[in-house]
A = this chain, B = another copy of it.
Amino acid sequence: MFIELDLQSENPLYEQLIDRLIEGIASGALKPGDPLPSVRNLAESLGINLHTVNKSYTLLKQDGFLQVHRKRGVIVQPDAMPGVTAEFEAKLFRQLRSLAAEAAVRGMTEEAFVNQCRRLYGDAIRKRGGDGQ
Protein backbone atom coordinates (compact mmCIF):
# COMPACT_ATOMS: atom_id res chain seq x y z
CA MET A 1 0.00 0.00 0.00
CA PHE A 2 1.93 2.95 -1.24
CA ILE A 3 -0.32 5.92 -0.93
CA GLU A 4 0.36 9.27 -2.45
CA LEU A 5 -1.68 12.37 -1.89
CA ASP A 6 -1.71 15.49 -4.00
CA LEU A 7 -1.30 18.43 -1.67
CA GLN A 8 -2.15 20.79 -4.53
CA SER A 9 -5.38 19.07 -5.50
CA GLU A 10 -8.71 20.76 -5.08
CA ASN A 11 -9.94 17.52 -3.53
CA PRO A 12 -9.54 17.57 0.22
CA LEU A 13 -6.83 15.31 1.58
CA TYR A 14 -9.24 13.21 3.58
CA GLU A 15 -11.25 12.45 0.43
CA GLN A 16 -8.18 11.53 -1.53
CA LEU A 17 -7.19 9.19 1.26
CA ILE A 18 -10.66 7.63 1.27
CA ASP A 19 -10.40 7.08 -2.48
CA ARG A 20 -6.98 5.49 -2.19
CA LEU A 21 -8.15 3.15 0.55
CA ILE A 22 -11.25 2.06 -1.35
CA GLU A 23 -9.10 1.49 -4.40
CA GLY A 24 -6.81 -0.60 -2.24
CA ILE A 25 -9.76 -2.72 -1.16
CA ALA A 26 -11.03 -3.04 -4.72
CA SER A 27 -7.65 -4.15 -6.01
CA GLY A 28 -7.16 -6.68 -3.26
CA ALA A 29 -4.13 -4.88 -1.86
CA LEU A 30 -6.25 -4.54 1.25
CA LYS A 31 -8.15 -7.68 2.10
CA PRO A 32 -11.08 -8.12 4.49
CA GLY A 33 -9.74 -8.32 8.03
CA ASP A 34 -6.43 -6.72 7.16
CA PRO A 35 -5.16 -4.25 9.73
CA LEU A 36 -4.65 -0.64 8.74
CA PRO A 37 -1.86 1.53 10.07
CA SER A 38 -2.71 3.45 13.20
CA VAL A 39 -3.97 6.97 12.76
CA ARG A 40 -0.66 8.33 13.99
CA ASN A 41 1.50 6.06 11.87
CA LEU A 42 -0.34 6.72 8.66
CA ALA A 43 -0.44 10.44 9.33
CA GLU A 44 3.28 10.51 9.85
CA SER A 45 4.11 8.38 6.83
CA LEU A 46 1.87 10.54 4.64
CA GLY A 47 3.20 13.74 6.14
CA ILE A 48 -0.25 14.98 7.10
CA ASN A 49 -2.05 15.67 10.30
CA LEU A 50 -3.42 12.93 12.51
CA HIS A 51 -6.90 14.44 12.46
CA THR A 52 -7.08 14.28 8.70
CA VAL A 53 -6.39 10.55 8.72
CA ASN A 54 -8.84 10.15 11.55
CA LYS A 55 -11.56 11.85 9.53
CA SER A 56 -11.03 9.46 6.62
CA TYR A 57 -11.11 6.43 8.90
CA THR A 58 -14.22 7.67 10.66
CA LEU A 59 -16.12 8.25 7.43
CA LEU A 60 -15.08 4.86 6.05
CA LYS A 61 -16.19 3.30 9.31
CA GLN A 62 -19.57 5.02 9.09
CA ASP A 63 -20.06 3.68 5.58
CA GLY A 64 -19.10 0.18 6.64
CA PHE A 65 -15.81 -0.19 4.76
CA LEU A 66 -13.76 -0.35 7.94
CA GLN A 67 -14.24 -1.62 11.46
CA VAL A 68 -12.67 -0.35 14.61
CA HIS A 69 -11.78 -3.31 16.77
CA ARG A 70 -11.23 -2.82 20.47
CA LYS A 71 -7.88 -4.47 20.45
CA ARG A 72 -6.84 -4.95 16.86
CA GLY A 73 -7.23 -1.30 15.94
CA VAL A 74 -8.67 -0.40 12.57
CA ILE A 75 -9.22 -3.23 10.10
CA VAL A 76 -10.80 -3.69 6.71
CA GLN A 77 -14.42 -4.81 7.00
CA PRO A 78 -14.09 -8.59 7.48
CA ASP A 79 -17.79 -9.33 6.96
CA ALA A 80 -19.95 -8.21 4.09
CA MET A 81 -18.89 -4.98 2.42
CA PRO A 82 -21.65 -2.38 2.08
CA GLY A 83 -23.73 -3.05 -1.01
CA VAL A 84 -25.08 -0.74 -3.66
CA THR A 85 -27.10 1.66 -1.55
CA ALA A 86 -29.52 4.24 -2.88
CA GLU A 87 -27.04 6.89 -1.79
CA PHE A 88 -24.25 5.38 -3.82
CA GLU A 89 -26.52 4.98 -6.82
CA ALA A 90 -27.43 8.65 -6.60
CA LYS A 91 -23.80 9.68 -6.37
CA LEU A 92 -22.87 7.41 -9.28
CA PHE A 93 -25.74 8.82 -11.32
CA ARG A 94 -24.86 12.43 -10.63
CA GLN A 95 -21.18 12.11 -11.36
CA LEU A 96 -21.49 9.86 -14.40
CA ARG A 97 -24.16 12.06 -15.94
CA SER A 98 -21.93 15.08 -15.65
CA LEU A 99 -18.88 13.28 -17.01
CA ALA A 100 -20.81 11.67 -19.86
CA ALA A 101 -22.29 14.98 -20.95
CA GLU A 102 -18.93 16.72 -21.01
CA ALA A 103 -17.36 13.78 -22.83
CA ALA A 104 -20.09 13.89 -25.45
CA VAL A 105 -19.74 17.64 -25.98
CA ARG A 106 -16.00 17.25 -26.36
CA GLY A 107 -16.58 14.77 -29.14
CA MET A 108 -15.78 11.57 -27.30
CA THR A 109 -17.85 8.79 -28.82
CA GLU A 110 -20.04 6.49 -26.78
CA GLU A 111 -17.71 3.61 -27.43
CA ALA A 112 -14.63 5.55 -26.39
CA PHE A 113 -16.39 6.63 -23.21
CA VAL A 114 -17.73 3.21 -22.37
CA ASN A 115 -14.38 1.59 -23.12
CA GLN A 116 -12.68 3.95 -20.72
CA CYS A 117 -15.24 3.03 -18.06
CA ARG A 118 -14.67 -0.65 -18.67
CA ARG A 119 -10.90 -0.25 -18.64
CA LEU A 120 -10.89 1.59 -15.33
CA TYR A 121 -13.20 -0.93 -13.73
CA GLY A 122 -10.81 -3.64 -14.89
CA ASP A 123 -7.84 -1.72 -13.54
CA ALA A 124 -9.57 -1.30 -10.21
CA ILE A 125 -9.92 -5.02 -9.63
CA ARG A 126 -6.82 -6.08 -11.52
CA LYS A 127 -4.85 -7.40 -8.59
CA ARG A 128 -7.70 -9.31 -6.96
CA GLY A 129 -6.35 -12.49 -5.52
CA GLY A 130 -2.86 -11.04 -5.87
CA ASP A 131 -0.17 -10.66 -3.27
CA GLY A 132 -1.51 -7.71 -1.34
CA GLN A 133 1.45 -5.47 -1.93
Residues of A within 8 A of B (CB): 7-8, 13, 19, 22-23, 25-27, 62, 65, 67-72, 81-85, 88, 92-93, 95-108, 110, 113-114, 116-118, 120-125
Among B81, B113, B116, contact of A106 (Cβ-Cβ < 8 Å): B81
Among B65, B99, B101, contact of A95 (Cβ-Cβ < 8 Å): B99
Contact A110 B104 (CB under 8 A): no
Among B65, B92, B122, contact of A110 (Cβ-Cβ < 8 Å): B122
Query: A69 to chain B: closest CB distance in Å?
Result: 5
Query: A85 to chain B: closest CB distance in Å?
Result: 8
* Residues in chain B near residue A96, CB distance under 8 A: 99, 116-117, 120
A70-B52 Cα distance, complex, nearest whole Å: 12
- Closest B-chain residue to A24, C-beta based? B101
A125-B99 Cα distance, complex, nearest whole Å: 12
Query: A32 to chain B: closest CB distance in Å?
Result: 10
* Residues in chain B near residue A81, CB distance under 8 A: 105-107
Contact B22 A105 (CB under 8 A): yes
